[in-house]
Amino acid sequence: MQPSTVTNTTNLTASPSQFYSWQNYRCAYEVHQPTNTTPEGIPLLLIHPIGVGLSRQFWQRFCREWYNTGQRNLIYNPDLLGCGESDMPHVAYTPSDWAEQLQYFLQTVVQKPVIVIVQGALLPIALALPAAGIALVEKQSNLIAKLVLSGPPTWALMTNKSPEWRQKLAWNLFDSPFGSAFYRYARTRKFLHSFSTRQLFASENAVDAEWLNTLVAGAENPASRYAVFSFLAGFWRQDYTSSIASIQQPTLVVMGETASSISQKGKEETPDERLAHYLTCLPEGRGIKVNGRNVLPYESTAEFIAAIAPFINEIF
């Protein structure tokens, strides 16, 4: 199915919203490119975080600043199913579901190698990108050239499987009138400001109107709660040690100087310790710390770009 377009856009570097069909669902994406010049280099594929009101809009500030610094890569910025302008079916999503969506997107829309930049706890999606049931980063290296891990989860969260009964129990609790009531409260400006200050940003001043307005608008559709509840239920909580150790592509881990964890598991882990865990496991890993906490592409955009640009542009 050929992507169709709509006319509105909020960013001069971005195409209008475009759509493709995957498993009878309509999935949205946009393509950013530098203005008044020809794109160069390997395209970027951005994987946005999951949370109340979050979607591909998370990356808008990053995309603007990327081109302001003179970078010229094409940027593919998709909405995961259940988020943004993509369909929002009432299902319990797993990382494999979203990975299959992105794999189809890579094969049918992008059709060329990309550098994946994945935010936070969506790392399992990058690890699960499947090709005929086989992890893409392991077997289909022609489609992923490099990876950038922005603020990945604590090592304990990435290496300890959560019991399935606990995941299902949590999902059933969220998928109830209680969950609906909780989501109505969670999408209020007051809650979003408080949560962002307590858990995401290093400085309360960085929790600005642009951030809050984007989240409030993104959470307006109550069906957006299913993706959030799937994440909160912990369907992504598995042991990924072998998957991380099998990544053969060059991988850059970018950690915030004050990186923290929402979960109690790994709460005592310092940013240096977390970075060391990943670099010990990754065959082709390197790491860097920048100012900020847990949403580096948004809260520390200029520093984040300065940290990853040499890695993105490096010939290998």
Confidence of residue 7 (pLDDT cuts 50, 70, 90): very low
Confidence of residue 316 (pLDDT cuts 50, 70, 90): low
Give the chain's domain count: 1
Confidence of residue 14 (pLDDT cuts 50, 70, 90): confident
Report the alpha-carbon distance of residue 74 to residue 45 in Å, rounded. Answer: 9
pLDDT of residue 263: 65
Higher pLDDT, 261 or 301: 301
Find the range with the poorest average confidence among 75-84, 136-145, 201-210, 252-261.
136-145
pLDDT at 8 over 50: no
Confidence of residue 4 (pLDDT cuts 50, 70, 90): very low
For position 281, which CATH number holds?
3.40.50.1820
Helix (H) or strand (E) holding 256: strand 251-256
DSSP state string for 180-233: HHHHHHHTSHHHHHHHIIIII-S-GGGS-HHHHHHHHHHT-SGGGHHHHHHHHH
Backbone angles phi, psi at 175, to 5 degrees: -85, 60
Report the alpha-carbon distance of residue 187 to residue 169 in Å, rounded. Answer: 23
**pLDDT tens track for 106-147:** 999 999 999 999 999 999 999 987 433 334 444 445 789 999
Give 22's strand partners.
25
pLDDT, average across residues 99-107 = 93
State the pTM of this model.
Answer: 0.92
pLDDT at 269 over 60: yes
Helix (H) or strand (E) holding 31: strand 25-32
Structure tokens at 226: 């299913």
pLDDT of residue 220: 96
**pLDDT tens track for 167-194:** 999 999 999 999 999 999 999 999 999 9
Q: What is the mean pLDDT of the chain?
A: 90
Report the alpha-carbon distance of residue 147 to residue 140 in Å, rounded. Answer: 14
pLDDT at 47 over 50: yes
Confidence of residue 5 (pLDDT cuts 50, 70, 90): very low
Nearest to 5, CA basis, from 71, 62, 85, 118: 85
- Domain around 25: 4-313
Structure tokens at 134: 């086989």
pLDDT, average across residues 202-222 = 95
Could you give the percent of the chain with pLDDT greater than 90?
Answer: 82
pLDDT of residue 134: 38
Confidence of residue 3 (pLDDT cuts 50, 70, 90): very low
pLDDT of residue 268: 80
Question: At CA 235, angle to CA 230 and CA 238, rounded to 5?
Answer: 155
